[in-house]
Structure 1
Amino acid sequence: MVERLNKCHQSRSDNNNESESSSSPAFESTSSFLTQFSNLKSSIESQLTHSHSVSSSDPSQLKPHFEQISTSISYLEKLVTENSYFLPSYDVRSSLKTIADLKHTLETLISQLLPKKKFSFKNKAATKKDTTNNNTVTPQEPKQPLPLNRDSLGFRNKSGELLVGDFRGSEVGKFTVSDLNSCEVRIIGCVSTLFIHRLKDSRVYVGPVMSSVLIEDVEGCVFAMASHQIRIHAATRSDFYLKVRSRPIIEDSNGVRFASYCLRYEGIKEDLRGAGLDAEIGNWGNVDDLKWLRAMQSPNWLILPENVRG
């Protein structure tokens, strides 16, 4: 089975070549996250409501007041990003909509109360200043990547290698696969949580993951994995063979294809049963694209044709 997947991946790579010639808490609980989100949202709304009072009593405090609100909104946005890999897609969308509304309200207040001041959210890129302007531009915080556990077990910083982890009969918590180029990863047995980051032209074949899989910044790869939740961010030209209890989530991705999980090894049925992943729900084909909220099919992903599957 692995050999067949490798051949399909190589065929797709050949075709593409021819055509081209952190610090927020991870709650791991939806109810805990929503409670924290609601409390922070209420606090920000209270600060926004207080803006007119600040303007009347001491206009000189408006700028730091708005900066504090901006920082709070940025933190709230970061909180959603870092925990969205285990959240239901509806809660992610609802949270992002709330953040967008808060930003709009803040921008409206700024335009009303500070019409001559230039103001932007701290997590946005700074506008390039004219070279004749001597004002120093404060470096802006880069976009926060999805969370990775850098202290966990894992495979890191390899090129052109076969990496095998056999965890049958073992208890493995978080496992990280990162910074691989042209590698093949085989994980046999169960792990609790899987983090995958910065892979190129690699293949990752994984037994059951007890909770969630988080994938970020991958290109030209093939994945076969089973998990309760799978979140994919910044993936291009990659195939995913999945068994997943919730709908897979993609964001900032394109050219990704999906098919049903097909990995086989001795004892996998028992591993899947032990992880609560033995039933075939069919969610592998019900993909939510967070950057495509229209009713029509997202152009960023498609179902892998059966005649080219491994």
Structure 2
Amino acid sequence: MSDKSTILERLSKRDAQRLEKLQKAHKAREEVDACDENEEYFAGAFKIKSEYIEDMLSQVPTMEAKVLPSHFDNIKREANELQKYVVTSSFFLKEFNMRKYLGIVQNLQTKCYELEDRYVPRKKFGFSKKKLPKSHIEKQSSLDDADGAGKIDSNKWDEKLFGFDSMANKVLTLENDDIFQRDVTLRNLKNCTIALKGVMGTLHMSNLDNCIVLSGPVTSSVFVEKCTNSKIVTACQQLRMHSSIKCDIYLHVTSKGIVEDCSEIRTAPYNLHYGDLEKHFNMSSLDKKVNNWDRLDDFNWLAPDIPSPNWSVLDVKQRISSWDEWWSKSPPL
């Protein structure tokens, strides 16, 4: 009896092991099928969403000028949502496919900004083709200084804006969880260090004085307006700089940057480092192999064969080689 019991016990144990293997194999098969279904569903959903954005872009030439600003805002919002959809699906998308989809989104965003430049050339951060005389600029600057408090009061921080406003002598930090694909605004800051460790949709800087901005990758555009004596480290698809003086830009930009009514602007290659930077670059879909940091278009300088006197390449000996110590301290006065 004991031998028979032993044999039956062995057979039972073997059957249990065989059943366990079958269950594991079945589970693995289900997971593979689910992954395939996810990819197939994602491809279909992405196609529908991207074609919807393409359709919105195709409507631009036929629309009235007064409705175009809100139409472009809707396109940007849809494109940003599509980009988030790609990034949040990265757990089942193959890396090659994810980069392909992010590239399609980037092309849609680029087309949007190109059409906006053509059909709505006078937006808030647009550029005037007419250069003001130097005396007029100096006079306006003195008036702005004298009336600074009034300007801030009359230009209250809109609840829709996200970022920092009206601060001095501060170290200000935002992480990727806070800023991912958002439009970030930095305004009316003096003697501040602003650390932005993440991926932004756009970055707006206005009226910064003696500030250091350490920025992770920006999916679309960086706008700089009325900034003085500041150092900006940023990576983006487009740079637009207006009415700024004595600023050093450590830049990664995949298209040619634009400056107007600026002077004493110096550029250097983007050289920021932090823990998740490589990951954030992949999420932003910016091409790390394309950097036009030393190719700016000056709208006030039309001579094609003579370099603009309003910007130059920062001498290597004068560049800051590491920003590690600046994450936690404000600039010197």
Normalization by structure 1: what TM-score?
0.55
Residue 304 in structure 1 maps to residue 330 in structure 2: no
> Which residue of 1 is the match for residue 244 of structure 2?
235
Q: Secondary structure at the match of 1:271?
A: helix
Q: 1:79 pairs with 117, 120, 128, which one?
A: 120
Does structure 2 conserve the Cα–Cα contact (< 8 Å) formed by 1:243 and 1:277? no
* Offset, 1:282: 2.8
Instruction: Assess, with a 3 A threshold, how the Cα gap between structure 1 residues 170 and 187 changes in structure 2: closer, same or farther.
Output: closer
* Offset, 1:77: 11
Task: Describe the superposition over 1:183-218 as per-residue Cα deviations: whole angstroms up to 9, x where unpaired.
Answer: 110000111111110000111010011111111000
Distance 2:194 2:179 in 1: 18
Task: Describe the superposition over 1:104-148 as per-residue Cα deviations: whole angstroms up to 9, x where unpaired.
Answer: xxxxxxxxxxxxxxxxxxxxxxxxxxxxxxxxxxxxxxxxxxxx9
Residue 277 in structure 1 maps to residue 286 in structure 2: yes
Distance 2:227 2:56 in 1: 27
Task: Describe the superposition over 1:145-174 as per-residue Cα deviations: whole angstroms up to 9, x where unpaired.
Answer: xxx977221011000100011125863411
Letter aligned with residue 307 of structure 1: K
Distance 2:161 2:125 in 1: 20
> Which residue of 2 is the match for residue 200 of structure 1?
209
Does structure 1 conserve the Cα–Cα contact (< 8 Å) formed by 2:125 and 2:223? no
* Offset, 1:84: 7.2
Q: Secondary structure at the match of 2:227?
A: strand
Distance 1:30 1:301 in 2: 37
Q: 1:265 pairs with 254, 267, 274, which one?
A: 274
Figure out how many residues of one structure are paired with residues of the other and give that number: 189
Distance 1:202 1:305 in 2: 20
Normalization by structure 2: what TM-score?
0.51
Instruction: Assess, with a 3 A threshold, how the Cα gap between structure 1 residues 84 and 159 changes in structure 2: closer, same or farther.
Output: closer
Residue 210 in structure 1 maps to residue 236 in structure 2: no
Letter aligned with residue 259 of structure 2: I
Q: Secondary structure at the match of 2:121?
A: helix
Q: Which has the higher contact order (CA 8 A, sep 6+)?
A: 1
Mark the runs of 5 or more structure 1 residues left unpaired by the alignment. Answer: 1-26, 41-75, 86-91, 98-147
* Offset, 1:177: 0.3
Distance 1:220 1:246 in 2: 25
Letter aligned with residue 122 of structure 2: T
Instruction: Assess, with a 3 A threshold, how the Cα gap between structure 1 residues 78 and 189 changes in structure 2: closer, same or farther.
Output: same
Distance 2:179 2:309 in 1: 41
Task: Describe the superposition over 1:226-248 as per-residue Cα deviations: whole angstroms up to 9, x where unpaired.
Answer: 01111000110010001111101
Mark the runs of 5 or more structure 2 residues left unpaired by the alignment. Answer: 1-52, 66-116, 131-156, 321-333
Does structure 1 conserve the Cα–Cα contact (< 8 Å) formed by 2:166 and 2:188? yes
Does structure 1 conserve the Cα–Cα contact (< 8 Å) formed by 2:181 and 2:219? no
Q: 1:226 pairs with 231, 235, 247, which one?
A: 235
> In terms of Rg, which structure is larger?
2
Higher strand share: 1
Distance 1:150 1:298 in 2: 39
Instruction: Assess, with a 3 A threshold, how the Cα gap between structure 1 residues 149 and 35 changes in structure 2: closer, same or farther.
Output: farther
Distance 1:277 1:187 in 2: 17
Does structure 1 conserve the Cα–Cα contact (< 8 Å) formed by 2:125 and 2:225? no
Q: Secondary structure at the match of 2:271?
A: coil
Distance 1:175 1:269 in 2: 21
Distance 2:224 2:62 in 1: 25
> Which residue of 2 is the match for residue 155 of structure 1?
164
Task: Describe the superposition over 1:218-265 as per-residue Cα deviations: whole angstroms up to 9, x where unpaired.
Answer: 000000000111100011001000111110100100000001100000
Does structure 2 conserve the Cα–Cα contact (< 8 Å) formed by 1:168 and 1:188? no
Instruction: Assess, with a 3 A threshold, how the Cα gap between structure 1 residues 156 and 227 changes in structure 2: closer, same or farther.
Output: same
Does structure 2 conserve the Cα–Cα contact (< 8 Å) formed by 1:201 and 1:219? yes
Task: Describe the superposition over 1:23-53 as per-residue Cα deviations: whole angstroms up to 9, x where unpaired.
Answer: xxxx9x996697269x76xxxxxxxxxxxxx
Distance 1:239 1:159 in 2: 20
> Which residue of 2 is the match for residue 185 of structure 1?
194
Instruction: Assess, with a 3 A threshold, how the Cα gap between structure 1 residues 219 and 36 changes in structure 2: closer, same or farther.
Output: farther
> Which residue of 2 is the match for residue 116 of structure 1?
none
> Which residue of 2 is the match for residue 293 of structure 1?
302
* Offset, 1:273: 1.6
Instruction: Assess, with a 3 A threshold, how the Cα gap between structure 1 residues 284 and 149 changes in structure 2: closer, same or farther.
Output: farther
